[in-house]
Structure 1
Amino acid sequence: MPRRRGDRRHRRAARTPPAGRSRVTQRDERVLALAGLAQALAQVRRIADTGQADAAVLETAIDSVFQIDADSPAAVYGGEQSLRPGLLLLRDHFRNLSRDELLPRLALAVLQLERRFSRDPMAQRVHAGIVGLGPMAARLGTAHPDVLAALGNLYAGTVSHLRPRVLVQGNPHYLGQAQVVAEVRAVLLAALRSAVLWRQLGGSLWDFILHRRALLEAVERRLH
Structure 2
Amino acid sequence: MPFHNIESRCIAFAAICQAAYLIDKIATKGTCPDSAAFDASLHSIMRVESDTPLEIYGSYSALEVGFRSMLEQLDNAGNSRNMQITKYIIGMLTLEKKLNKNKATLSLLGQRINQVQRQLAHFDINDASVLSNLDSIYRDLISTLGPKIQINGSPSCLQQAQTQHKIRALLLAGVRGAVLWRQLGGKRRHLIFSRKAMIHQTKQNLHRV
Instruction: Give TM-score scaled by structure 2 length.
Output: 0.91
What is the aligned partner in structure 2 of residue 67 from structure 1?
A: 47
Question: Which SS does the other structure have where 2:126 is aligned?
Answer: coil
Query: Which aligned pairs between 1:170-181 and structure 2 lie closer than 5 A?
Result: 170-181=153-164
Q: Distance in 2 between matches of 1:201 and 1:175?
A: 34
What is the aligned partner in structure 1 of residue 97 from structure 2?
A: 115
Q: Check the 8 A contact 2:73/2:82 in 1, yes or no.
A: no
Q: Distance in 1 between matches of 2:149 and 2:191?
A: 18
**1:95 paired residue among 57, 75, 79:** 75
Q: Over aligned residue pairs, what C-alpha RMSD do you find?
A: 1.5
Question: Which SS does the other structure have where 2:49 is aligned?
Answer: coil
Letter in 2 for 1:47: I
Q: Check the 8 A contact 2:67/2:206 in 1, yes or no.
A: yes
What is the aligned partner in structure 1 of residue 24 from structure 2?
A: 45
Question: Which SS does the other structure have where 1:158 is aligned?
Answer: helix
Instruction: State the number of aligned residues.
Output: 203
Q: Check the 8 A contact 1:35/1:83 in 2, yes or no.
A: yes
- What is the CA-CA distance between 1:110 and the residue it aligns to? 1.0
1:200 and 2:179 are equivalent in the alignment: no
Q: Check the 8 A contact 1:38/1:107 in 2, yes or no.
A: yes
Q: Check the 8 A contact 1:142/1:148 in 2, yes or no.
A: yes
Letter in 1 for 2:99: F
Letter in 2 for 1:108: I
Long gaps (5+) in structure 2: none
Which is worse superposed, 39-48 or 99-108? 99-108
Q: Percent identity?
A: 29
Which is worse superposed, 124-133 or 187-196? 124-133
**1:159 paired residue among 126, 136, 142:** 142
What is the aligned partner in structure 2 of residue 23 from structure 1?
A: none
**1:80 paired residue among 43, 47, 60:** 60
Letter in 2 for 1:189: L
What is the aligned partner in structure 2 of residue 3 from structure 1?
A: none
What is the aligned partner in structure 2 of residue 139 from structure 1?
A: 122
- What is the CA-CA distance between 1:61 and the residue it aligns to? 0.7
Q: Check the 8 A contact 2:19/2:41 in 1, yes or no.
A: yes
- What is the CA-CA distance between 1:99 and the residue it aligns to? 4.7
1:31-50 alpha-carbon deviations (Å, 9 max, x no partner): 00111111111111111112
Q: Distance in 2 between matches of 1:48 and 1:101?
A: 14
- What is the CA-CA distance between 1:190 and the residue it aligns to? 0.4
1:28 and 2:7 are equivalent in the alignment: yes
What is the aligned partner in structure 2 of residue 149 from structure 1?
A: 132
Q: Check the 8 A contact 1:33/1:194 in 2, yes or no.
A: yes
Q: Distance in 2 between matches of 1:223 and 1:184?
A: 25
What is the aligned partner in structure 2 of residue 212 from structure 1?
A: 195
